[in-house]
Chain A
Amino acid sequence: MSLVIHPVVLIAAENRTRYAQLSIHESSRDIHLTRKIEYKPALLIVVDAQNNVLASTVGTTYWSTKERSNLSPSQHGVNFTYRTSNADAVTAFSQTVNLQPLTPALRFTPYQDFDVALRNSGTIANAYLITDRNEQYSRIDIETWPSEMWRGDEPFDVTTSGYKYLELTVGTEQSDATLRFSSLDVDQNDQVIKLIEPHINVYFTNFLRDWSNAKAELEARLNSIESVSTTQSPQEMLDAGL
């Protein structure tokens, strides 16, 4: 092993309750320039294939704390069964399900009670989370943002706009997209479109390091223990004589 910089550094560096921010918080009017994500005004726009803005809302971005990640269980979750006693029974085994990496999420919390105002009718193709690094626009009032970014009078191409943004995957409630909607076809007469979750969480699973093999490595270490299995049920382990 060599040095490992853990993704929790994102919180340590940017959260207002941690030393990196506390140590300068009343000393600099420019403290906001030392943060990239935490407490930034952000604009969420949902566009069709021609970059027409279908829906938009404002809110704030954070690094979320106090919970393990909620990544795709199949890609990142580690499950294991282990023996807790010498009883010759299934009850001698316990299971731990969906252990997740301790990596923080980039969280966007919309201000408007999670309804996204509709600007045009059409079919959702893409979504972008645009952050205001300089904190000149409002976290609450979308009218303070340049109207061409959110009003939908003309197509808006964020990729050439010069703003910092993140493209979000979009899908229906059944999908595993970042941004899940009750419907991808929106009719402006509906007034609002519902997001499925109260927050939007995005995880960067290869931040600072390639963690692609971490799940397999953790499972291999668990499976190197005689009476632990990441694949077998208690009954299967009992039947196998473990």
Chain B
Amino acid sequence: MSDQGAPRLETLLNKQDLQEILHGWGSPTYYLGMHKYGSSLASRYFIHAFTGRVPTPAEMYYGTFINKTGDLVSNTPHDLADAYLGWIGIRTDLSADAHYYRAGGNADTEPSPGQATIDAEVSGRVFPEGISLVKGYTHYIRLPVKEHHDTSMMMSVTFSPSAKKHWHGGNKAALKTAHDEGRLVHGFKPTWFYISENLDFPARDTQKVMDRDNQHIATINSLQSTHFSRLGVLYGRFGSVGSGAEIELSDGYENNIYSATLVSLKIKSN
């Protein structure tokens, strides 16, 4: 057991190394279907959307979400799943449905043919350390570094304005009821998200806090660590266009918990 702070980390992992780790996660390689040379997989990112109060960074770090009456609805504290709208995915292969954005590259390296519509453009994996990928298949796409790039982007996604997606799963029916009854405190809209690589909701321990009158006044959810892939890697806010939120929505921010049109997702790593 030990706690070694950042200054001592420098000799093992410096700033450049950390940026490359972040970049390696957020900038996918492209996969264009099954091929005989390998069993590599498409990358997938799941944007899990929530409404209600935005948790604090400390709650995210501990994986412990502490919700009181009024954080979602006016009459009772909520469980994390109560505020869940569902997920929209991004995947880098050909498959797509109403809940996934398909990802492609930018125009000059678009992985057509056979991919007539690409409804998300994701910056591809580049290798600042000068690594060469050995291509086992001609369709393997690797994007060049764009000119004038002096910012290390952990993740850079631009979404098609014509691609509306539906939040899949979630607790929308109950949220609609709460909205109609005037109990929804933070509006009828997505407020925050996390991105993981798993469509499943994380398992959690739940503690209900009561007061002396036996009123339920808070719910404490602690995420279990048994499925690390279900834990959020990035946490951020939703907002309308121009709001400066980590994900801006051109449609689906005001008065809509069912579907959304995403504008962009830009995460810097420096």
Contacts and interface: CB of A to CB of B under 8 A. Distances in A.
B116 interface: no
Contact of B62 (A22, A209, A214, A228): A214
Interface residues of B, number: 84
B29 to A, nearest CB: 5
Contacts of A20: 24-25, 28, 43
Contacts of B177: none
A177 interface: yes
Nearest to B2: A178
A78 B220 CA distance: 13
A202 B4 contact: yes
B57 A102 contact: no
A83 B210 contact: yes
Contacts of B131: 28, 30, 33-34
B17 A36 contact: yes
Interface in A1-17: 1-14, 17
A169 interface: yes
A113 interface: no
B24 A83 contact: no
B212 A10 contact: no
A202 B2 contact: yes
B242 to A, nearest CB: 16
B40 A24 contact: yes
B9 A13 contact: no
27 contacts: A1-B237, A4-B235, A18-B197, A19-B42, A19-B43, A19-B44, A24-B29, A30-B132, A34-B127, A36-B20, A66-B226, A75-B3, A82-B207, A82-B209, A83-B211, A99-B64, A164-B11, A166-B12, A203-B2, A203-B4, A204-B4, A205-B3, A207-B6, A214-B61, A215-B58, A218-B66, A227-B210
Interface of A: 1-14, 17-20, 22-30, 33-34, 36-37, 65-68, 70-72, 75-76, 78, 82-86, 94, 96, 99-104, 129, 131, 159, 164-169, 176-178, 201-209, 211, 213-215, 217-218, 221-222, 224-228, 241-242
Question: 8 tightest A-B contacts by CB?
Answer: A26-B38, A178-B2, A217-B58, A13-B25, A86-B214, A102-B63, A166-B12, A4-B235
Interface of B: 1-6, 8-9, 11-13, 17-18, 20-22, 24-25, 28-29, 31, 37-44, 54-64, 66, 68, 92, 125, 127, 129, 131-137, 140, 154, 192, 197, 207-214, 217-218, 220, 222-223, 225-226, 228-229, 231-237, 246, 267, 269
